[in-house]
Amino acid sequence: MKEIIRIAVQKSGRLSEDSLSLIKECGIKFYNGTGKLKSTAFNFPIEFLFLRDDDIPGYVADGVADLGIVGENELVEKDKQVETIKKLGFSKCRLSLAIPKGEEYPGISYFEGKNIATSYPNILNTYLKSRKVNASIHEISGSVEIAPSIGLAEGICDIVSSGSTLMMNGLKEVEEIFRSEAVLIGNPGMEEVKKSIVEKLLFRMNAVQQGKGNKYILLNAPNDSLEKIISLIPGMRSPTVLPLAEKGWSSVHSVLSEEQFWENIEELRQAGAEGILVIPIEKMVL
């Protein structure tokens, strides 16, 4: 039988779209009809399991899936024997403590002897211990933010992204306890044949990520400032310099990160660069 790997991704929720786009950007084609729990790629030895994110660390630890894409919050909370292979840079959020807006917050001692509602009892417990605070943890599985207004708890510990859910529920964020993003996880006991397929997948994911973080830049430069301009946009090995039809001018092509672009743009213009184009890169292999 031809060897194949299995990856567990969230069926529907905040991780789903970005997880599947990443896989598609790796050139992997598959059918993802609604309601499907399993699917096999047409052009890469990979099978997908569509699951609730809570179950993903467990499935990967048990080897039912070889790989999984899950938020670090879920991964740490579930505390399963899995390997974190790669940070994926999407679904970024934080896990924070919040209290009613009108309360004064003197510091972490506020929570001493209080009730805190959360869906992340393990992460919260570890945090409270590290801060030497004794508080009761009330585990609830959803709508944590309403707990203070219904008298269930004095504070909450929940995922925050923009902060608008807290605000809408009359709460304020007082401590950030954990930062999270989506990660690729793997079963630590994977066989060699499977590992080599994972390597191929990682090669593709890295090419996609590198491409996203970088831009292709083209500009026109007077020949007497080429040296300065090349020093500002050195590129992968070195920039391409081509003569323009107009004498004394060249076209310079290079690759740089978006941050480098914004940092260097003024200096590039001062050095005489003009007609600057910045183009997205789809894939990049170093």
Alpha helices in 10-163 (DSSP H): 16-25, 56-62, 72-78, 121-130
CB of 164 to ligand PRT, least distance (A): 4
Could you tell me if 268 and 239 are in contact, meaning their C-beta atoms sit under 8 angstroms apart? no
Q: What burial letters (b/e) apply to 9-46, b meaning 16+ CB within 10 Å? A: bbbeebbbebbbebbebbebebeeeeeeeebebeebbb
Binding of ligand PRT at residue 77 (CB under 6 A)?
no
Task: Name the binder of 164 from ligand PRT, Zn ion, none, CB < 5-8 A by kind.
Answer: ligand PRT
Task: Name the binder of 15 from Zn ion, ligand PRT, none, CB < 5-8 A by kind.
Answer: ligand PRT
Q: From the list 8, 23, 53, 75, which residue makes contact with Zn ion (rule: CB under 5 A)?
A: 53
Binding of Zn ion at residue 158 (CB under 5 A)?
no
CB of 205 to ligand PRT, least distance (A): 19
Residue 244 C-beta-side C-alpha neighbours within 13 Å:
17
Binding of ligand PRT at residue 169 (CB under 6 A)?
no
| Calpha distance 182→163 (Å, rounded) | 19
Bridge partner list, 71 = 182
Alpha helices in the chain (DSSP H): 16-25, 56-62, 72-78, 121-130, 164-168, 192-213, 226-232, 258-270
CB of 222 to ligand PRT, least distance (A): 48
Q: What burial letters (b/e) apply to 54-70, b meaning 16+ CB within 10 Å? A: ebbbbbbbeeebbbbbb
Binding of Zn ion at residue 54 (CB under 5 A)?
yes
Q: Residue 208: how many CB atoms within 10 A of its CB? A: 20
Q: Which stretch binds ligand PRT (CB under 6 A): 11-19, 149-157, 228-236, 265-273?
A: 11-19
Task: Name the binder of 255 from ligand PRT, Zn ion, none, CB < 5-8 A by kind.
Answer: none
CB of 70 to ligand PRT, least distance (A): 7
Q: From the list 19, 91, 118, 214, which residue makes contact with ligand PRT (rule: CB under 6 A)?
A: 91
Binding of Zn ion at residue 77 (CB under 5 A)?
no
Q: Which stretch binds Zn ion (CB under 5 A): 28-36, 54-62, 172-180, 246-254?
A: 54-62
Task: Name the binder of 14 from Zn ion, ligand PRT, none, CB < 5-8 A by kind.
Answer: ligand PRT
Sign of CA dihedral 196, 197, 198, 199: positive
From residue 249, how far is each of 194, 196, 242, 246 by CA, in Å?
53, 48, 9, 6
CB of 61 to ligand PRT, least distance (A): 17
Binding of ligand PRT at residue 154 (CB under 6 A)?
no
Task: Name the binder of 163 from ligand PRT, Zn ion, none, CB < 5-8 A by kind.
Answer: ligand PRT
Nearest 5°: CA angle at 244, between 241 and 274? 80
Site for ligand PRT in 37-76 (CB under 6 A): 52-54, 71, 73-74
The residues of the shown chain that bind ligand PRT, judged by CB under 6 A, are: 10, 13-15, 52-54, 71, 73-74, 91, 93, 158-165, 180
The residues of the shown chain that bind Zn ion, judged by CB under 5 A, are: 53-54
